[in-house]
Structure 1
Amino acid sequence: MRITNGLILLRLVALAVAQGSGTYSVKTPPLTTNWTFEVGTNPWPEYPRPQMQRSQWQNLNGIWRYENATSLNATSDPPFSQTLENEVLVPSCLESGLSGIMGSYALYSWFSTSFTVPSSWSGNQILLNFGAVDYEATVYVNGQQAGFNRGGYYQFTVDVTNATKFDEANELLVFVHDPTDSGDYVIPIGKQTLRPSHIFYTPCSGIWQSVWVEPAPANYITALDVNANMDGQVNVTVHSSSGAASPVSVTIYESGGEKAIATTNGTSDSPFQFTVSSTSLWSPDSPTLYNMSISFGSDTVRSYTGFRTISKGEVNGVVRPLLNGEPLFMFGTLDQGFWPDGIYTPPSREAMVYDLDVLKSLGFNMLRKHIKVENDLFYQACDQMGLLLIQDMPALRPLQGDQYLPNADQQAEFTRQLELLVNQHKSYPSIVTWVIYNEGWGQLIDGYPEFGLTDLVNSLDGTRLIDSTTGWFDHGAGDFSDNHHYANPQCGSPFYSIQSSPYDPARIGIQGEFGGIGQNVSIEHLWNNQAAINTINQTYEIDETIDAWNYRGHKLLTELKEQTEIYACSGGVWTQTTDVEGEVNGLLTYDRRVLRTNITQWKDDIQALYDALKSRSSNSTSTMRML
């Protein structure tokens, strides 16, 4: 791929050498959280993949070594058996304070560590797992290239059996290339940019999710697809490393216990179904989950599921989302998942869940995971807490005119990664909607590819709704007629702005983004970067006091309620969970130390939204037609 402004870029890359001193310590970022200096050197100790958990495993998180590289050509001479220049915390973003590096323009990087595999694992396949590496990773073990992965948001596994030595140190070396939005690269990056400015933020490069190694038999489970519906039917596909049909046994246990309530046998690598009687349904009000075990030859994994059905229907003449056959008002926040100390990587599971606890306590039943993919423990937490998820596909580079529209190869890569998103996350009960395009970013206008992509997503996962285009270029694809408007909502209504299409009564009316009202705070709670501070007044609306901010919030939520009572609104996404860098429009400040909301007021206003839809959907002449 051609790199424009090459001399400037090379100079910036040269300046991107690690700012660490060799020995790891947390770098103080422009803003800290209460968890920044509590992370320690053994972060994220939890098993990283809760829906396919093996009993034997070894966590490789902790202090690794890191060194900047200058180009892709670095892979022609890997630094085997060398001590790289700096210590770095894994998982973390190289640009973060938690990494100990806090670098910039980290386009090319080397990471190294060592691990010891016990001889008791011999005779098994040795699987090296990565939660996510941004953006391309080339993996070497003991001097041998073992694997390559492209895609900054997705987990991958490298079989390192042939390169592994038992009961002695194994050298692990990873080369990472993360172009972000350098040159003319057009890749899924979400809100990351090398040039942060207001609604675009500090990027994340490197190994930003957990790394672990585990043994598995010669023929082992590679993936597990589970969907359990409101009728008690469980649909399962167990994917194997051989791809050859083999016997599988699935057991489901009572909720919260280990008493088996259903066992069935099936065949791997093709779907099979069975029914469990008298199950409790999963919902935001009652997020009941059931543990599972799956046996495949000598491989056994643990998992879980929740029984629920997502669908749509016409209720009293309005198309609505349905959860377990009942009309549902989905109300949540735009959740960007950025942290001042970790950028993309939360300091800990406790910190990550704090945001979710705040949303749940205020009465939100949903969040829109905005053009980012989280680690698997995030989705497990939403499953456990009963938070519905609208999951975005990470967006391509935002348009500047038509300069960064994807070419055929870039569009094919976007499509491949969209498939990964769906396939790796379609077993989480909390996910109820997939989003393909956000506000036209990377969306080709000629030929309307969102129709084909919608069909693709539906073929991969027909159990959820699809929001093909959230905001802007809507040509009629998908299940939602989705409006974005700041600050006031325009939800399922006969009025709209030029940035969104008119409401389509054949689809679900939702306010995909609104609100965005800001309130400046003292420097103690701001991202203390002058360039970011200079953009604060680009926030959609600035309210000078907390009281004014809450007053405006009440007015806007009242408008959304009225559009639910009068028109055809079925949900809304408030911008946003937290401030991010130069944006000061969060319920929480970026450091999570100040909650702006008047709790009683917001809880009442949110409940009024649910009550409004319930009233519209359950009058004495109520009618429903499934779609």
Structure 2
Amino acid sequence: MKTKYCLLYLGIILFHGLSVKAQTAKLPTQWTKAAMAAAVPFPDYPRPQLERKEWMCLNGKWDYIGGKEVASAFAPVKPIAFSDKAEKILVPYCPESVLSGIARNQEINMWYRRTFEMPAAWKGKQIIINFDAVDHDATLFVNGEKAGVHAGGYSSFHINITKFLRAGTNTIVVAAHDPNDGRTPSGKNGPRGDYTFTSGIWQSVWLEPVSEHYIKSIRLLPDLVNNRLQVFVDADQAKVKAVALNGSDVVSEISGRSGTLLYMPIKEPKLWSPDDPFLYDLKITLTDNKGNIKDEVSSYFGMRDIKLGKVNGVIRPLLNNKFIMQVGLLDQGYWPDGILTAPTEKALRSDISFTKKVGFNLIRKHMKTEPKRFYYWADKLGLLVWQDMPAIWYQHEDTAKNRSAFRKELVDMMDDLYNSPSIITWVPFNENWGAFDVKEMTDWVKKLDPSRLVNGNSGFNNNPGYQEAAGDPGNGDFLDTHIYVGPYGASVPDDKRAASLGEFGGVGLFVRGHMWPVENNAYAYEPTKERLTDSYVLLMDQVEQLMRYKGLSVAIYTQTTDVEHEVNGMLTYDREVEKMDIERVKAVNEAVIRAGNELKAGK
């Protein structure tokens, strides 16, 4: 959704003629040029499951001060002074990326500044500023006054800045501090990770006006057993009305008090699945005791459930009481021009569309999170999602601090993404990277969200070189091994857990002119597109044998795209070249999924 205020600010930026400092991309994508030229990147409303009509997009050009000599941005008490010679950065791209206009190696202390004009129509409203992600410690100043702080690089936060604002022009300064020392979650871009370190603002920033009493968050839980949707609205005590719609047709509505569980009946629900990703629209209205509307948001939901059950005596994951063989791609979500941030909305959607096009039904979002619009597209297009938590790296040092930071961000991530029907599994740890108390953490995550499956340590058989593998934690919903090239040697189910091949494959192909300029590698190699396709088809034929006769229920191939030093993607890193015969890939994927559909659920 684009509003007049977002478009108004676009006009202001164009009027002043601001432009990004010229940079040359090491490996451009088809979206690089458009991203660099965008006055307001990502102009669509960033939070599709809690959407308001009035808002102002603050993506675009900000003043920027960074580099080795800049003052510390960790917990400052006042903003630093900006000169007329301050650099310009294009938000929301991290300063390490070429799209930001900065393209410097790891920034630790970052200072951002911009101004905005308060719309006259917002007079008397409470003004909330929203940050979808700032890595890692952020301090916000509004008109020189400290307005709020946040810690966590992968979670959103929201600050009421009303009391700091004035009519006309207002100035925002964000201080972001990111030592990237492995003591907070950092995933693959940490000190022991594989890819470019990233810092600072890397997802959208926006403003929205609300009443004194407004909807802070919602929590939606489909309940297929009782044909209903559980709705929780976090707001000051007031009356709530929720209306579910199928297009313009009202399906159900319910009223009650905010802060309490409400149950909306959904008679004969249309179920959400990869084959038919049907989504209901949802309107939620907050009123006072006199019936005056105080807030109104739009959302959506999918009616689906996920659990374990027996199919011919074998424990398997059941979606809507049916076993669907999960055939997926490991999706790392890195970009040669934006690094952690896709260059455009079309780019963000493209990886999901490609995955769907070639017959996969699952994405494992590996060691990072994405903007909420990524999950919207997974919900909309119909892809199951396994969501990893980005790892810490020094879990055995200063354990009270480092492990607490991990737990906090894990909870924040789960809260942020809870409503997305596509997400069916949480993955707290990967291959023992940053892993601690795996058995206890697995149970804890399951307690936090019993509506989803939990894979406590995907690839528990593997380990980083600096520590031993802890092995099977013995709990959770999956026995999950990583086998390269595989797939033989994959886990088999036990009497309580399903069997998953959380990573396999990783077969590489060099494509000149489409690789990151470093030494590239893979787990194995093929010389041609035809040979690589043959290799993939053979692997999937073997996966089918494991599914039929060894109880395998999930197989996740490495990976969607090449990454900075890896050439084992189905696409090149710039997304320009399909490295396999896509029709053959699609055919074998669909054949394996069909074979799974032939298995009948039962005791």
Q: CA deviation at 1:553?
A: 1.1
CA contact (8 A) 1:252 1:293 kept: yes
SS in 2 for 1:512: strand
SS in 2 for 1:552: helix
Q: Does 1:87 align with 2:94?
A: no
Question: CA 1:234–1:577 in 2, change beyond 3 Å: closer, same or farther?
Answer: same
Q: Does 1:233 align with 2:228?
A: yes
Cα distance in 2, alignment partners of residues 34 and 73 from structure 1: 37
Q: CA deviation at 1:260?
A: 1.7
Tell me which of 295, 302, 310 is aligned to 1:299.
Answer: 295
Tell me which of 436, 460, 463 is aligned to 2:448.
Answer: 460
Gaps of 5+ in 1: 1-21, 495-502
Give the alignment's TM-score, normalised by structure 2: 0.90
Q: Does 1:191 align with 2:188?
A: yes
> In structure 2, what is the equivalent of residue 176 of structure 1?
176
Q: Does 1:525 align with 2:525?
A: no
Identity %: 38
1:151-193 Cα offsets, whole Å, 9 max, x none, are: 1111100110100112x11100000001113xxx411101104
> In structure 1, what is the equivalent of residue 32 of structure 2?
36
Cα distance in 1, alignment partners of residues 207 and 73 from structure 2: 27
Q: CA deviation at 1:434?
A: 0.5
Matches within 5 A, 1:91-106: 91-106=92-107
CA contact (8 A) 1:26 1:99 kept: no
1:359-388 Cα offsets, whole Å, 9 max, x none, are: 111110010000111001000000000000
SS in 2 for 1:378: helix
Cα distance in 1, alignment partners of residues 159 and 31 from structure 2: 32
> In structure 1, what is the equivalent of residue 258 of structure 2?
268
Aligned residues: 564
SS in 2 for 1:612: helix
CA contact (8 A) 1:578 1:587 kept: yes
Q: Does 1:289 align with 2:289?
A: no
CA contact (8 A) 1:450 1:477 kept: no
Q: Does 1:624 align with 2:572?
A: no
Cα distance in 1, alignment partners of residues 128 and 77 from structure 2: 25
Q: CA deviation at 1:273?
A: 1.2
Tell me which of 384, 389, 392 is aligned to 2:385.
Answer: 389
Matches within 5 A, 1:81-480: 82-83=83-84, 85-166=86-167, 168-181=168-181, 185-193=182-190, 200-231=194-225, 232-240=227-235, 242=236, 245-254=237-246, 257-297=247-287, 298-397=294-393, 407-444=399-436, 449-472=437-460, 473-480=471-478
Cα distance in 2, alignment partners of residues 491 and 169 from structure 1: 63
One-letter code aligned to 1:546: K
1:321-348 Cα offsets, whole Å, 9 max, x none, are: 1111111111110000000000011011
SS in 2 for 1:560: helix
Q: CA deviation at 1:405?
A: 5.2
Question: CA 1:119–1:395 in 2, change beyond 3 Å: closer, same or farther?
Answer: same
Question: CA 1:427–1:321 in 2, change beyond 3 Å: closer, same or farther?
Answer: same
Matches within 5 A, 1:1-80: 24-39=20-35, 40-68=38-66, 69-72=70-73, 75-76=76-77, 78-80=79-81
One-letter code aligned to 2:458: T
One-letter code aligned to 1:173: V
SS in 1 for 2:334: coil
Give the alignment's TM-score, normalised by structure 1: 0.87
Q: CA deviation at 1:486?
A: 0.3
One-letter code aligned to 2:47: R
Q: CA deviation at 1:611?
A: 2.5
CA contact (8 A) 1:134 1:151 kept: yes
1:398-426 Cα offsets, whole Å, 9 max, x none, are: x7xxx855612211111111111111111
Cα distance in 2, alignment partners of residues 555 and 591 from structure 1: 27
One-letter code aligned to 1:322: L
Q: CA deviation at 1:429?
A: 0.6
Cα distance in 1, alignment partners of residues 375 and 143 from structure 2: 34
Q: Structure 1 stretches (4+) deviating beyond 3 angstroms? A: 80-84, 403-406, 490-494
Question: CA 1:74–1:462 in 2, change beyond 3 Å: closer, same or farther?
Answer: closer
> In structure 2, what is the equivalent of residue 601 of structure 1?
584
Single out whichever of 50-59 and 598-607 deviates more from structure 2.
Answer: 598-607
Q: CA deviation at 1:246?
A: 2.6
Cα distance in 2, alignment partners of residues 610 and 26 from structure 1: 48
CA contact (8 A) 1:67 1:84 kept: no
CA contact (8 A) 1:153 1:372 kept: yes
CA contact (8 A) 1:491 1:509 kept: no
CA contact (8 A) 2:388 2:427 kept: yes
